[in-house]
Amino acid sequence: MFSKSCEYGLQAILYIALHARPDRKVGLKEIADNQDIPAHFLSKILQILVKYKLLVSVKGPNGGFALYRKAEDITLLEVVSAIDGLDIFERCGIGLKHCDDAHPCPIHNKFKFLRESIRNTLMKETLADLIFAVEEGKTYVTLKHLISE
């Protein structure tokens, strides 16, 4: 459903939320290596998240990335919106140019329900919710993350 850029952006911002501290920013190489994301590609994605004020970027020897706001104030929908936009929640499920409630495609109503459900989930879930699930051991980010802890 999401682009590879968006998937990488979600993975990266969660990694930053888990590892950045007020006295420690997370470097591009660290994120790329631990999340197995091409660094050049990741750099462009992180700059988008900086532009949308989801991340802050600090240059220099102790530089790196950190959250712009508190994890509980950043929803997953904001990340998706910054990278992919929100038109994914409006498009036809089978790609027709003209599909709406008045002229539905064969899967319109079922797909509309799924899109709304996904959008609502992303709107409600914050980075803090994901951090909590990881720290409680209910979910994981990557095997590398688990091994390095």
Domain of residue 58, CATH code: 1.10.10.10
Cβ-Cβ contacts under 8 Å for 17 (sequence gap 6 or more): 67, 71, 74, 127, 128, 130, 131
Average pLDDT over the chain, rounded to an integer: 91
Q: Mean pLDDT across the stretch 99-110?
A: 93
Residue 144: inside a domain:
yes
In the predicted model, is pLDDT for residue 148 greater than 50?
Answer: no
Residue for token digits 């999340």?
Answer: 35
pLDDT value, residue 146:
46
Residue 117: inside a domain:
no
Residue 60: inside a domain:
yes
pLDDT value, residue 134:
86
Residue 27: inside a domain:
yes
Q: Mean pLDDT across the stretch 3-11?
A: 95
Residue type, position 7, single letter: E
pLDDT value, residue 145:
45
* Count of domains observed in the chain: 1
Long-range Cβ contact pairs of 31-36 (< 8 A, separation 24 or more): 31/65, 33/144, 34/142, 34/144, 34/145, 34/148, 35/8, 35/11, 35/141, 35/142, 35/144, 36/142, 36/144
Nearest to 36 by CA among 15, 60, 64: 15
Residue 51: inside a domain:
yes
User: What pTM was estimated for this model as a whole?
Assistant: 0.87
Query: Could you tell me what percentage of the chain is helix, strand and coil, using 3-state DSSP and rounding each to the nearest 5?
Result: 55, 10, 35
What residue numbers bound the domain in which 52 lies?
Answer: 4-85+126-148
Nearest to 129 by CA among 68, 72, 73, 79: 72
Give the residues across from 67 on adjacent strands.
55
SS3 127: helix
Residue 134: inside a domain:
yes
The string of pLDDT tens digits covering residues 10-56 is 999 999 999 999 889 999 999 999 999 999 999 999 999 999 999 99
In the predicted model, is pLDDT for residue 143 greater than 50?
Answer: no
Residue 29: inside a domain:
yes
Residue 90 backbone dihedrals phi, psi, to 5 degrees: -115, -25
SS3 64: strand
Residue 104: inside a domain:
no
